[in-house]
Structure formats: C-alpha cells, structure tokens
C-alpha cells in the first residue's frame, strides 16, 4: 500500500516546539507518520499514492482519554441525577446483570462516540465483565485502547462480582494473556484495580507485581474522591500506598480530588500519573471547584490527563466538552486568568494522556515515527471563523460537529463524518433494545419527572 498525503492543512503538531504549520502536509506510510511540514517541502521529498485535499482543514493529534467505563454506555443517563444511592441500588444491579452482548454493543457505542469526537486512544476504567466482547468491538471500530477487567476483593456484593484476591489476580493475568494472543497492536491490557476502598493491600501489591513483570502500567480507580474525613478506612491514603511500594511511574490514579501537600509531593516523587475526570466529578458533587488542585499538580510537573469516566457520571465521552470545562472551571475557582491556558489543556488531552498510558514515544503528537492518529476538522462551520488563535478556538469554540475524518494507526476510521467499518444504525438499534432487557433483569427503571405519553 502506498503513502497517503494530507495536503494543505493547518497542522497543530503538539511536537516539542509546539509548531503550528500553515499550508502544511502529513505523509502517512502504513501505521506511521513519515513526514510533517510545509506542503511544498513535504511533496518534493516524499512520494504518495493517495492525496487528501485538506485545504480549510485543521489537523490535530488524536485525543487520549485515560479513564472510560465502556460497559455503562448500555444504560446511559439512566440514573437520576439526584439519586444519592446511584452506586448500590442502580449501578451494581446493572453490572451484576450485564451480558456479553450488552457489553459488546455498549463498547461499540462508546468507541463510536469517542472516534466521532476525536478520541483515538482510551484506557478502560477496569469495569469490563466480558472483556473479550469489548476487545471485539474495539477491533471492529479500529480504536486504540487499554482494557482491564472487574478487579476487587473486598466487597461481597453483588455475589456475581465477588472475587477472592487470588481469583482477581489470576483473572487479570488470564486477560493480559488473552489480549496478547489477539496480537492486535491497537489493543493492550493492564491490571486495573477498581477502587482504593474495594482492593486489599494484597491485591494492590499483586497487581503492581503483575504490571511490573510484564512491562505494563497499573491503573487505580477512584482514589481520593471523597474527603478524608468521610473515608471509611483512613489507611487508604497515598502515604499508605507509598509504604506498600505500589506508587511508581507506571501507575495511573484516577480522580485525586482531595489532596494535601504531602500527596502532591508523593505524586511528584514517584512520577505517578493522575487522570482527572471533571464532568463525572462535578455531577457527583465532589467539589472539584473548591478542593481540586489539578492546576497545582500541573505546575509541580505531575502528569494530569483527562478522562470522561462513565455514562452515568459525565454521560458522554466527548473530549472537546471536557477540555472546555477544564479550561473554564479552574480559572473561575482560582479567580486567576493564568490558570490552565488553552494550550496547557490541549497538552493534557494529548501529551499527558500519552504519558499516562506509557505511550509517549508512539502517540500524543504529530511527529515523524509516531503512529498516525489524527483528527481532521473541517473549517466549513461558523465556530471556526475567524481563525486567529487555533488553541483558543479548539478549547473554547469548536465542537465535535466539525470533525470530518479520523485516522488511527494510519487507517481512516471516520471519513467525511461517517464511520468507515461500522453500521452505526445497527449498533444504535441494538443498544436501545438491549438496554430495556437489561433494566428488566436488573430491576431498575428510569425515574421520569415529566409525564411521558
Ligand atoms: Zn470511573
């Protein structure tokens, strides 16, 4: 197969010099970027068989979402936003009754939504019940991602999700082996531990050893997302995890809303990666505008990436909505114009994500030798005019409706607004059908405050 030339675009490279190239070109050869630069120069130096006219287009590296629950898309926006019992009485019955078919279509839906909004790589949160079904969906869509499976050993309920420490670790090792045998270079697997209050010390240590022994990362979910004074077990602190030896540069921790100076010091010292999920945190009343210290983490050199979280937390997996919120909320909470400039937030959605997923040498920017994971925006939309400061436009003005095409590993998975390899209508119909059946099995129903006739 010959090379593909994307020609005439404004290219936001996110490279070490943060070059933004007018009338630029990218050459894709196989899965990789062979060249990026001024169009005339690139065309004189490289041959190509396909040319995509990208006049009036803007090219950006694909977004990287570091915390997504694929499965929950099957029951998006089911849980009332005033349900304080959302976890035990809503989510747990759903997860306890989730079938492989549910998870397959939920994953297809989430992956379609990610691609359509520019996310080319994601990390599952560690809540897959049938990860083989999720892997199949990822292959069909063509998205890059890291999978994990339901991993806890402390909670006895629901009984269908109960696991001993040994079983939780064994299941993780089996899944890592299964994904490796798929031999699909866009799908990886990490041990992903569900939560600080649902995993024993033995499970955390075992999961870290498993990650280290195979050169993988380890994802901790949902840490420091309740104030310490409400934490049932005060031993679940970063200091405790440091003492256990599980804090490290290959560890990603999600949320981290309530942190003190010692926590920031530990995150910095051990080069732990933080996944910040603003939309879910806000819907769940975590107080990030009051307590969140994410700008301080970034200033301290800690990697802070962004995650959409779940379909009843943020209810979407749209990175453009997330970066808009992050750029706004901390300026307001700190009452400081200098907090989280648009450029920094774009770095969090790309480069920090790549670092968090241990892929900074292969994704996160448009550079020669990296994977060709690209978003191509079409400027034939009002929000793209005038184009005076592309970082500002991307963060504050642009929505996903102007995303024209998406490449992942050099493969065009979204072409002029259409998913290339997926019958979207078939997915939507099956999700709608399966969600009703799942609610019946789980014994839950939406609470409608307005009459539906
Ligand atoms: Zn989550």
**Residues in a beta bridge with 188:** 146
Distance 67 CA to ligand 1 centre (A): 6
User: Nearest-5° angle of CA 209, CA 271, CA 178?
Assistant: 35
Q: Is residue 136 within 8 Å of residue 159, measured between CB atoms?
A: no
How remote is the CA of residue 123 from the centroid of ligand 1, in Å?
11
- Which one-letter DSSP state was computed for residue 196? T
Give me ligand 1 centre to Cα 368, in Å: 34
Query: What distance in angstroms lies between residue 304's CA and the mean position of ligand 1's atoms?
Result: 16
Is the pLDDT reported for residue 84 higher than 50? yes
Q: What is the pLDDT of residues 414-440, one digit of tens each?
A: 999 999 999 999 999 999 999 999 999
Residue 341 pLDDT level (bands cut at 50, 70, 90): very high
Here the tokens at position 213 are 């022994």
Determine the average pLDDT of the residues in 251-269. Answer: 94
SS3 66: strand
Whether the Cβ atoms of residue 347 and residue 105 lie closer than 8 Å to each other: no
Written as six digits, the tokens of 22 are: 């007018």
Q: What is the DSSP letter of 186?
A: T
Which pLDDT tens digit goes with each residue over 179-232? 999 999 999 999 999 877 789 999 999 999 999 999 999 998 766 665 543 443
For range 121-125, the mean pLDDT? 96
Looking at residue 224, its pLDDT comes to: 66
Alpha-carbon gap, residue 343 to 151, rounded angstroms: 36
Mean pLDDT (the chain, rounded): 94
Cα–Cα distance for residue pair 200/193, rounded to 1 Å: 10
Residue 182: per-residue pLDDT? 94
322 contacts 68 by C-beta, under 8 angstroms: no
Give the distance (Å) from ligand 1 centre to CA of residue 134. 17
What percentage of the chain has pLDDT greater than the value 90?
89
Angle at 411 between CA 408 and CA 416, to 5 degrees: 90
For the record, the structure tokens of 167 come out as: 């079983």
Residue 10 neighbours by CB distance under 10 Å: 20
Neighbours of ion ligand 1 (CB under 5 A): 125, 309
Q: How far apart are the CA of 125 and the centre of ligand 1, in A?
A: 6
Q: Report the alpha-carbon distance of residue 283 to residue 418 in Å, rounded.
A: 31
pLDDT of residue 222: 66
**What Rg value do the Cα atoms of the chain yield, rounded?**
21
* Bridging pattern class, strands 411-415 and 50-53: unpaired
Q: Which tokens in the block code for residue 79?
A: 């849980």
Give me ligand 1 centre to Cα 85, in Å: 16
pLDDT at 230: 42
Omega cis (within 30) before 386: yes
- Rounded CA gap, 396 and 345, in Å? 11
- What proportion of the chain, given as a percentage, has pLDDT over 70? 97
- State the distance from the centre of ligand 1 to the C-alpha of 383, rounded, in angstroms: 31
Give backbone dihedrals phi and psi of 374, rounded to 5 degrees, phi first. -135, 145
- pLDDT 10s digits, 261-288: 999 999 999 999 999 999 999 999 999 9
- DSSP-derived 3-state class of residue 170: helix
Name residue, tokens 């994953």.
Answer: 107
Quick one: which of 119, 113, 111 has its CA closest to 319? 119
114, 65 contact by CB (below 8 A): yes
C-alpha 2 – ligand 1 centre gap (Å)? 41
CA of 222 to the centre of ligand 1 (A): 6
How confident is the model at residue 194, as a pLDDT?
Answer: 82
Q: How far is the CA of 168 from the centre of ligand 1 (A)?
A: 19
293-326 in b/e form (b: 16+ CB < 10 A) is bbbbbbeeebbbbbbbbbbbbbbbbbbbbbbbbb
The alpha carbon of 30 and the centre of ligand 1 are apart by a number of angstroms equal to 34
Q: Judging by beta carbons within 10 Å of its beta carbon (0-12, 13-18, 19+), is residue 42 exposed, middle or buried?
A: buried
Q: Ligand 1 mean position to 68 CA, how many Å?
A: 7
Q: For tokens 């114009």, what's the residue?
A: 337
pLDDT for the residue numbered 158: 86
pLDDT of residue 233: 43
414 Cα–ligand 1 center, Å:
27
Measured between alpha carbons, how far is 432 from 17 in angstroms, rounded to an integer? 46
**Distance between Cα 317 and ligand 1 center (Å):** 12
> Helix (H, G, I), strand (E, B), or coil: what is residue 252?
strand
| 238 and 192 Cβ atoms separated by less than 8 Å | no
What pLDDT band is residue 236 in, cutting at 50, 70 and 90?
low
Ligand 1 centroid to Cα of residue 255, in Å, is 8
Alpha-carbon gap, residue 184 to 70, rounded angstroms = 19
According to DSSP, the residues that pair with 304 across neighbouring strands are 274
What tens digit of pLDDT does each residue of 46-57 get?
Answer: 999 999 999 999
> Residue 104's closest CA among 146, 77, 70?
70
Contact 64, 26 (CB under 8 A): no
Domains of the chain: 4-61+364-418 (2.30.40.10), 63-356 (3.20.20.140)
């Amino acid at each position: 197969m010959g090379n593909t030339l994307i020609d005439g675009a404004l290219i936001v490279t996110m490279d070490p010099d943060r070059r933004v190239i007018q009338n630029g070109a990218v050459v894709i050869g196989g899965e990789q970027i062979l060249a990026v630069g001024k169009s005339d120069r690139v065309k004189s130096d490289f041959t190509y068989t396909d040319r995509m006219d990208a006049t009036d287009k803007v090219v950006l590296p694909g977004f990287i979402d570091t915390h997504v629950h694929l499965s929950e898309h099957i029951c998006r926006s089911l849980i009332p936003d005033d349900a304080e019992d959302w976890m035990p009485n809503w989510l747990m019955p759903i997860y306890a009754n989730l079938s492989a078919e549910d998870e397959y279509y939920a994953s297809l839906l989430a992956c379609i939504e990610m691609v359509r909004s520019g996310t080319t790589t994601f990390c599952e949160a560690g809540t897959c019940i049938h990860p083989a079904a999720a892997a199949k969906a990822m292959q069909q869509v063509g998205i890059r991602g890291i999978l994990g499976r339901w991993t806890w050993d402390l909670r006895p309920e629901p009984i269908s999700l109960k696991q001993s420490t040994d079983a939780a670790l064994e299941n993780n090792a089996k899944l890592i082996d299964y994904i490796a045998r798929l031999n699909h270079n866009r799908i990886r697997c990490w041990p992903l531990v569900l939560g600080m209050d649902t995993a024993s010390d033995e499970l955390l240590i075992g999961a870290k050893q498993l990650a280290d022994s195979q050169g993988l990362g380890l994802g901790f979910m949902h840490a420091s997302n309740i104030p310490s004074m409400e934490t049932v077990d005060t031993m679940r602190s970063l200091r405790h995890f440091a003492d256990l030896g599980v804090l490290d540069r290959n560890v990603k921790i999600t949320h981290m809303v309530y942190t003190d100076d010692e926590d920031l010091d530990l995150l910095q010292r051990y080069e732990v990666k933080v996944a910040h999920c603003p939309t879910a945190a806000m819907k769940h009343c975590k107080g990030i505008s009051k307590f969140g210290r994410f700008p301080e983490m970034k200033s301290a050199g800690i990697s802070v990436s962004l995650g959409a979280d779940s379909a009843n937390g943020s209810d979407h997996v749209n990175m453009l909505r997330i970066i808009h919120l992050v750029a706004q909320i901390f300026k307001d909470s700190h009452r400081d114009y200098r907090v989280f400039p648009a450029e920094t937030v774009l770095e969090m959605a790309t480069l920090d994500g790549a670092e968090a997923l241990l892929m900074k040498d292969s994704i996160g920017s448009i550079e020669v030798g990296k994977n060709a994971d690209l978003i191509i925006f079409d400027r034939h939309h009002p929000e793209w005019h005038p184009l005076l400061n592309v970082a500002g436009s991307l963060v504050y003005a642009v929505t996903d409706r102007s995303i024209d095409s998406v490449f992942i590993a050099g493969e065009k998975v979204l072409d002029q607004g259409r998913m290339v390899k997926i019958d979207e209508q078939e997915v939507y119909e099956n999700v709608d059908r399966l969600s009703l059946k799942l609610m019946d099995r789980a014994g839950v129903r939406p609470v409608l405050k307005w009459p539906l006739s």
